[in-house]
Amino acid sequence: MSSSSTLIAQRYRLIRQLGSGGMGRVWLAQDVKLDRQVAVKEIIPPKGLTERERTEIQLRTLREARTAASLSHPNVVRVFDTMNIDDQPWIVMEYVPSRSLQEVIDTDGPLPSVRVAEIGMAVLAALRTAHKAGVLHRDVKPGNVLLADDGRVVLTDFGLATFDGDPQVTRTGLILGSPQYISPERATEGTSLPESDLWSFGATLYAAVEGRAPYARANALATLTALVTEDLDPAPNAGRLQPVLDALLRRDPAARLSPAAVERLLRRAVPKVPPQPGP
């Protein structure tokens, strides 16, 4: 979609591009029916896919919309609509004026551990809501954590999410997700568990304080090899966040702490602010 004046589904007028990735673009758009700004996700399948693979991408896109729309939480982006135009899927979402955590890391450098703990509590709340509804995100990473201008922290992009019991819509041999942030069990066995999201969450917190993912290497293959064979790189900037990283970045999913226990550790990482004296 090249024109910023295009009207999608006779309702959403594209204003400007907000971002792009390997699977498409996100646009700021005006909902001319309700007179509000929204974010419209344009899915552009990679070239060279078979008809079956293109169909799988369409199904996955619809699943993202259904998944996110089923969740009601201030730390989860809201989905309003979905469309299929010329066999190309689109998703209409809440527009959150923000920068992603990845953008903040790239622009400003690593964040203080206390601030990362605060962000972590919001992301964990979103994950707990999703897991309680039987939804696995499967792509938790800094690029999918939005730091809104109004102070909210929002988990977005449920494009790889699944419901418990749903069939996986994937190509044989294809690892979906970001190599630097997928869990060891997903890398080696393709297994997705709530604990897998927690591992990716831990890797995201690690990246926020250190400026890079815990097993980041020169390429995807080297990263995945390090993930399953090497010890965790030290996190010298973790500070009070170190117990949280230790609890989440364990290779054995069963050895990772529960979300409730992780929340307690995160709260300990945020200094208590004494009450201000009254007038």
* CATH number, residue 171: 1.10.510.10
Q: Are residues 138 and 78 in the same domain?
A: no
Would you state the structure tokens that stand for residue 173, as one six-digit string? 């041999």
pLDDT of the residue at 174: 42
Is 139 strand, coil or helix? coil
* Exposure letters 12-33 (e unless 16+ CB within 10 A, then b): bbbbeebeeeebbbbbbbbbee
Cα 69 to the center of its chain, rounded Å: 15
pLDDT of the residue at 115: 96
pLDDT of the residue at 243: 96
Point out the domain boundary residue: 94, 113, 140: 94
Q: Quote the radius of gyration of the chain (alpha carbons, Å).
A: 19
**Of 113, 121, 124, the residue nearest 241 (C-alpha):** 113
Quote the percentage of the chain above a pLDDT of 70.
87
Residue of higher predicted confidence among 169 and 36: 36
φ, ψ of residue 124 in degrees (nearest 5): -65, -40
Does some domain include residue 3?
A: no
Beta-bridge partner residues of 79? 93
Point out the domain boundary residue: 29, 63, 94: 94
pLDDT of the residue at 57: 73
In this model, does residue 8 exceed pLDDT 80?
A: yes
Q: Are residues 82 and 62 in the same domain?
A: yes
Q: Are residues 142 and 242 in the same domain?
A: yes
Can you tell me the mean pLDDT for 24-28? 88
Instruction: Read off the pLDDT of residues 103-128 as tens digits, 9 standing for 90 and up.
Output: 999 999 999 999 999 999 999 999 99
> Contact 104/143 with Cβ under 8 angstroms?
no
pLDDT of the residue at 4: 57
In this model, does residue 3 exceed pLDDT 60?
A: no
Instruction: Read off the pLDDT of residues 238-277 as tens digits, 9 standing for 90 and up.
Output: 999 999 999 999 999 999 999 999 999 999 998 875 554 5
Can you tell me the mean pLDDT for 228-236? 92
φ, ψ of residue 35 in degrees (nearest 5): 55, 60
How many C-beta atoms lie closer than 10 Å to residue 105's C-beta? 20
pLDDT of the residue at 86: 81
pLDDT of the residue at 59: 78
In this model, does residue 279 exceed pLDDT 50?
A: no
Residues in the chain: 279
Q: Which residues contact 11 (CB under 8 A, 6 or more apart)?
A: 31, 32, 33
Rounded CA separation 148/115 (Å): 14
In this model, does residue 13 exceed pLDDT 50?
A: yes
Would you state the structure tokens that stand for residue 140, as one six-digit string? 């938790």
Instruction: Read off the pLDDT of residues 166-216 as tens digits, 9 standing for 90 and up.
Output: 433 344 334 455 789 999 998 888 888 999 999 999 999 999 999 999 999
In this model, does residue 36 exceed pLDDT 80?
A: yes
Point out the domain boundary residue: 79, 94, 109: 94
User: What is the domain extent for residue 60?
Assistant: 9-94
Q: Which of 35, 86, 108, 139 is catalytic?
A: 139
pLDDT of the residue at 255: 97
Average pLDDT over the chain, rounded to an integer: 86
- Annotated active-site residue 139? The verdict is yes
Q: Name the helix (H) or strand (E) containing 41.
A: strand 36-43
